[in-house]
Structure formats: structure tokens, C-alpha cells
Amino acid sequence: MGMERKSNEEGIQVEDIISAIKGHVPDMYEFNPKESLNMKHKTYKDSPRRADQMHCVVCVVEADKITLMDKSLVNKFETIRSQVNKMKAEQPPPPPPPKPLLEKPWRNLELNEQVKNELLQDIRNYETLTESVEEPRILLIGQIGAGKSSFFNSVKSIFRGHVTLQAGSGQGETSVSNLYRIYPVHDGKGGKRLPYILCDTMGLEREQNEDGIHMNDIISVINGHVPDLYEFDPKASITKNDIRYRHEPVLGDKVHCVVFVIDADKMSLINKILRQKFQSIRTTVHKMGIPVLVLITKVDEACLEVKKDLSKVYWSRYLNEKVTKLGQELGVPMSAISLVRNYSSETDLDWNFDILILNALKQMLRAADDCLDDMKLRGLTRSSST
Ligand SMILES: Nc1nc2c(ncn2[C@@H]2O[C@H](COP(=O)(O)OP(=O)(O)OP(=O)(O)O)[C@@H](O)[C@H]2O)c(=O)[nH]1
Ligand SMILES: [Mg+2]
């Protein structure tokens, strides 16, 4: 209701305006110029919420009448203004936004050259102590463009001493890698073969209309039926009648650790279909005694603080919250989740990148050991004499 321009006009009472500002006036309340709303009125809101209060008060004045404003009207505006100022002073200040970095890192991983050298040594000296499997196979599966091929390239780069791009990587509507690739890694150019194999697959589709790897093909790969260079067909999975189908895989052809590769920037966008696929793979491989790990890539794209300084990766509040939630959704413990920044556009190695990547690889080798221990218990392997 308008305020009266002159004392003989009827307009809204100043007390009603102040009550409205404080949130005591309900919607549809009919103003009475003779009597203001008071606590006894049945519609009076006793304890208004913050959202019921006004957050901005605008005095609407006709430009044409500014000079003709009655003194009593000016006084009313004054009263309202001083009341609003008083309310502002009484309001507690909004809580400051949480700091992007935590007080303490949520995982202790020092990033220095000595740590890198120790990790390199650990991986070089790794042995399965299982005669039938000298090179455990680590299978990388995940969404299209999650960084599976880039992870292999990054591992190879570290042991080669410079950035390499063997596995085709890049951005695409469909998976850039449509071939199954089994990649051994060598210690330096022409150096000895390192004791593990990374297996790169076609991506799982992000949306229903995209083409991704067939679920049955993932299981066939895990069981060792799929040979290197097999071309995945999203429309049909490999069958026993296919000449490329390996009918009698040995233990060394099978997968010993499954890694879900997930883009850090898309963690909260993992849809129901993809989550169900991950869960179904996890259940299947769990029965086979194969461990499942999660590799979070592109941490630089998900958190600005980490983009500025990769050593802050385990200090990032955002990554901590998202990773915790993801672990719960996928049913994977936090200790099974590693975070990395793959080499993408860089030309030189950086030991901050290297330590995260090597640490993730070390976790994968340890998980493969657990798989082999389980196979030994089931009487499926022969231990080496060493
Ligand atoms: N900034 C950044 N970019 C990355 C990282 N990892 C991968 N990329 C980039 O992401 C894009 C996709 O990476 P790929 O390695 O091809 O992903 P993929 O999972 O093999 O994809 P498909 O084979 O198509 O299923 C490439 O342009 C990479 O350079 C990372 O950690 N940080
Ligand atoms: Mg790829």
C-alpha cells in the first residue's frame, strides 16, 4: 500500500512497513491505515525466518514530486532508513566460505625428488614371486576421454625420461582408443622390460547415445580371451567363434588388477547407467579375486588450487569431498583411490606429476600381488623358487 502524501490522505502505517521488513507480515495481509499490524493479530508472524525478511528496501519516488514531498513523508522515510540500518547492525555477518585448502593433507605423500627415486626403485625391483605370472596385467577401464591412454603414456614417459605419446590420446565423440592394447613398459630407451603390463581399452560411453565398449568384452578381456590389437565393436562383443578369441588363456593372459579411471572434473556427473556398470564389473571381478582400484585423473582441471600447485592435491577440500562421495557411491575404500595429473600438453617431465603417477602404479602392483596371493590360495599358481 502506498504512503500518504499529505496528512489528510490514508496510507500505510510506518510500523507496518517496518513489520514487513522484519518479516512479520504474511502474504495477502490487508493493510489498515487506521491500525497497524500487531502481535495480537492472528496472522502476525511471531518468529520469521531469515528468508521472510526483506533483503533490500527501495523507496519509490516520482521525479516530478521530489520537491513537493511533505515533511511528514520525509520523516517517515528517515524512520524506515534508521530502522533498516539498525537491523543491518544486528545481523550476524555471513559465515566466511570454507577455505579451499584443508589445515592438514588428507593423505600423506611428500612430493620431493628423493620420494620419486624411491618409488622408481620400488617399481624397478618389483617381482611377483609367482612363476606363472611374471608380469601382472593391469586393466584400465573408464569413461571415454577419462585419461586411460594418457596414464599409460605418462608411466612410459617417466621411465623413458621424457614425455612420450605412444598410445593415441585426445578428445572425441567416441572413444579414441577402439583397439585393445597391451603395453609393456621399458626402463629407458632399449632398457629392460619392467615387470608389469598396462592394458588399455575403449572407453565406456558417457551418455546413452554414445558408442562405448561392450560390457561382455570387458569380462572377456579380464578372463584373458581377447588378444592385443583386437578391435572393439560397441554393437557386438567378441564370441567364441571369432578366430581372434583365445580359448585357453594361461594365468599370465588374465587381468590381475582392474582400475576404474575417472575424470576428476566429471566425478559428480557419473550417471546411474555408468555407476551400475562399474558396480556390476566390481561384483564380477570381486568373485574372481581380482582387486579393483580407482584412478582419478585431471585433478588440475577440477581444482584451481591444484592447477596452480600440484603439490596441493591432497590438501584440496573440493577433491577430498568429491573423492569421499565417489568412494561411497562405488563401494570402494578411500585407500583404493589414487589421484594423478597425467602428462597432456607438457613437453618436460615434472617430479610432482611423476610421484603421483608412480605412487598410483605402486598401488596397482600391490593390488596385483593380492590377486596372485589369492590365486595361490586357490591352487592356481606356481610360486617361483626365489
Ligand atoms: N589437463 C589434463 N588433461 C588430461 C589429463 N589426462 C588426460 N588428459 C587429456 O584428456 C584427453 C583424453 O585423454 P585420453 O588419454 O585420450 O583418454 P582415454 O580415456 O584414453 O579416452 P578414449 O580412448 O577416447 O576412451 C586428452 O586430450 C588428454 O590430453 C590430466 O590429468 N590433465
Ligand atoms: Mg584411449
Distance from Cα 86 to the centre of ligand 2, integer Å = 62
Distance from Cα 140 to the centre of ligand 2, integer Å = 9
pLDDT digits (tens, 9 = 90+) for 118-174: 999 999 999 888 878 889 999 999 988 999 999 999 999 999 999 987 767 767 666
State how far the alpha carbon of 191 is from the alpha carbons of 19, 135, 230, 275, in Å. Answer: 81, 16, 27, 40
User: What is the CB < 6 Å shell around ligand 1?
Assistant: 142, 144-150, 169-172, 175-177, 202-203, 297-298, 300-301, 341-342, 344
Domains with residue ranges and CATH for the chain: 14-90 (no CATH), 113-377 (3.40.50.300)
Distance from Cα 194 to the centre of ligand 2, integer Å = 22
pLDDT digits (tens, 9 = 90+) for 27-78: 999 998 888 888 888 888 988 888 888 888 888 888 887 777 788 888 888 9
CA distance linking residue 251 with residue 137, whole number of Å: 10
Task: Tell me the three cell numbers of residue 376.
Answer: 595361490
Other residues' Cβ atoms within 10 Å of the Cβ of residue 273 = 13
Other residues' Cβ atoms within 10 Å of the Cβ of residue 195 = 20
Which parts of 288-333 fold into alpha helices (H)? Answer: 299-302, 304-308, 317-330
Residue identifier of the C-alpha nearest atom 13 of ligand 1: 147
Q: State residue 386's pLDDT score.
A: 43
Distance from Cα 202 to the centre of ligand 2, integer Å = 6
Task: Tell me the three cell numbers of residue 263.
Answer: 575424470
Query: Of all atoms in ligand 1, which is nearest to the CA of residue 200?
Result: 20
Q: Which amino acid is at 62?
A: E
Residue identifier of the C-alpha nearest atom 1 of ligand 1: 298
Looking at the CA of 142, which ligand is closest? 1
Task: Tell me the three cell numbers of residue 319.
Answer: 577433491
Residue identifier of the C-alpha nearest atom 27 of ligand 1: 170
User: Which stretches of the chain score pLDDT less than 50?
Assistant: 385-386
Distance from Cα 297 to the centre of ligand 1, integer Å = 8
Task: Tell me the three cell numbers of residue 362.
Answer: 605402486
Largest distance between two CA atoms of the chain: 109
Q: State residue 175's pLDDT score.
A: 65
Looking at the CA of 259, which ligand is closest? 1
CA distance linking residue 333 with residue 324, whole number of Å: 9
Looking at the CA of 176, which ligand is closest? 1
Task: Tell me the three cell numbers of residue 316.
Answer: 584440496
Q: State residue 255's pLDDT score.
A: 96
Other residues' Cβ atoms within 10 Å of the Cβ of residue 333 = 10
Q: State residue 266's pLDDT score.
A: 86
Among the listed residues 15, 12, 182, the one whose alpha carbon sits nearest the alpha carbon of residue 83: 15
Q: Which amino acid is at 41?
A: H
Q: State residue 124's pLDDT score.
A: 94
Whether residue 271 contacts residue 350, with contact meaning beta carbons closer than 8 Å, is answered with: no
Question: Angle of helix 272-287 relative to helix 215-222, nearest 10 degrees?
Answer: 30
Distance from Cα 205 to the centre of ligand 2, integer Å = 12
Among the listed residues 333, 281, 367, 310, the one whose alpha carbon sits nearest the alpha carbon of residue 154: 310
Whether residue 210 contacts residue 173, with contact meaning beta carbons closer than 8 Å, is answered with: yes
Task: Tell me the three cell numbers of residue 217.
Answer: 568384452
State how far the alpha carbon of 58 is from the alpha carbons of 17, 47, 77, 340, in Å. Answer: 12, 24, 11, 52
Mutation to probe ligand 1, out of 150, 261, 304 (largest number of atoms < 8 A from CB) = 150
Q: What is the 3-state secondary structure (H, E, C) of 221-251?
A: HHCCCCCCCCECCCCCCCCCCCCCCCCCCCH
User: Which residues are near ligand 2, the ion (C-beta closer than 5 Å)?
Assistant: 148-149, 176-177
Distance from Cα 180 to the centre of ligand 2, integer Å = 10
CA distance linking residue 307 with residue 341, whole number of Å: 9
CA distance linking residue 118 with residue 126, whole number of Å: 12
Looking at the CA of 143, which ligand is closest? 1
Q: State residue 133's pLDDT score.
A: 86
Question: Phi and psi (nearest 5°) for 345?
Answer: -110, 0
